[in-house]
């Protein structure tokens, strides 16, 4: 939440729920810093829940409020659909000789190429990388695929 949204949140979400609360300038700065970590909707849901469950009617309790924000944030992260769980394939480019252009590159040095997506043609990308590295280091490469 940015500064403008934070001020809007304080005036439209918190102050109407606790009308007797008159925050000082320092409290407002503290709230603005704490609210940066959360999006407006999650903080709004936390404000509603906190107003419903709080024992204090004169002001919001920061510890309880932000504990609710954290819980809602964690719950939202867990509810997100997981990325495709398919293991990504890998290919290895292995130097077969020492590089005359770069003495730090020795025989057996390996570059790993990881499949970007299910539709990615790993063999074709490995061939492209092999051509690039063979021109760069002036040594032959071999492509290895794990079994």
Residue 119 lies in a domain: yes
The dihedral built from the CA positions of residue 52, 53, 57 and 61, taken in this order, carries a sign that is: negative
Do 10 and 37 lie in one domain? The reply is yes
**pTM of the prediction?**
0.50
- Using CA atoms, how far apart are residues 51 and 46, in angstroms rounded to an integer? 8
Do 28 and 56 lie in one domain? The reply is yes
Q: Which of 79, 98, 120 is the last residue of a domain?
A: 79
Q: pLDDT, tens digit, for every residue of 44-103? A: 888 888 888 888 788 888 888 888 888 887 777 666 666 555 667 788 878 777 777 777
The token pair that represents 107 in the structure block: 């025989």
Q: What angle do CA 105, 106, 111 make, to 5 degrees?
A: 65
Residue 84 lies in a domain: no
Residue 13 lies in a domain: yes
Do 74 and 99 lie in one domain? The reply is no
Domain that holds residue 128: 90-144
């Amino acid at each position: 939440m940015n500064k403008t949204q934070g001020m809007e949140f304080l005036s439209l979400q918190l102050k109407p729920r606790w009308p007797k609360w008159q925050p000082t300038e320092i409290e407002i700065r503290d709230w603005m810093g704490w609210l940066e970590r959360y999006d407006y909707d999650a903080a709004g849901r936390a404000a509603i829940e906190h107003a419903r469950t709080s024992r204090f009617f004169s002001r919001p309790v920061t510890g309880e409020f932000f504990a609710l924000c954290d819980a809602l944030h964690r719950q939202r992260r867990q509810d997100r659909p997981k990325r495709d769980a398919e293991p990504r394939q890998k290919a290895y480019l292995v130097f077969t000789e020492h590089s005359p252009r770069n003495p730090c590159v020795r025989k057996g040095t390996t570059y790993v190429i990881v499949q970007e997506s299910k539709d990615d043609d790993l063999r074709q990308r490995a061939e492209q990388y092999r051509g690039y590295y063979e021109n760069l280091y002036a040594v032959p490469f071999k492509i290895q695929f794990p079994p």
